[in-house]
Amino acid sequence: MTGFEPILPVVVIDDARDAEALGRALLAGGIHQAEITLRTPAALSALRALAGMPGLRVGVGTVLEPEQAEAAIDAGATFVVSPGLSESVLAVCERRGVQAVPGAVTATEVMRARSLGLRTLKFFPAESSGGPAALSALSSVFPDLAFVPTGGIDASRAADYLALPSVIAVGGSWMVPRAAIAAGDFTGVEALCRTAVEAAR
Report the catalytic residues: 35, 122
Alpha carbons 71 and 65: distance in angstroms, whole number:
10
HEC string of 4-63 equals CCCEEEEECCCCHHHHHHHHHHHHHCCCCEEEEECCCCCHHHHHHHHHCCCCCEEEEECC
CB-CB contact of 103 with 122 (8 Å):
yes
Question: How far is Cα 151 from Cα 63, in angstroms, rounded to an integer?
Answer: 15
Alpha carbons within 13 A on the beta-carbon side of 88: 7
- Cα angle vertex 159, ends 180, 130, to 5°? 95
What is the Cα–Cα distance from 51 to 25, expressed in whole angstroms? Answer: 15
CB of 150 within 8 A of CB of 124? yes
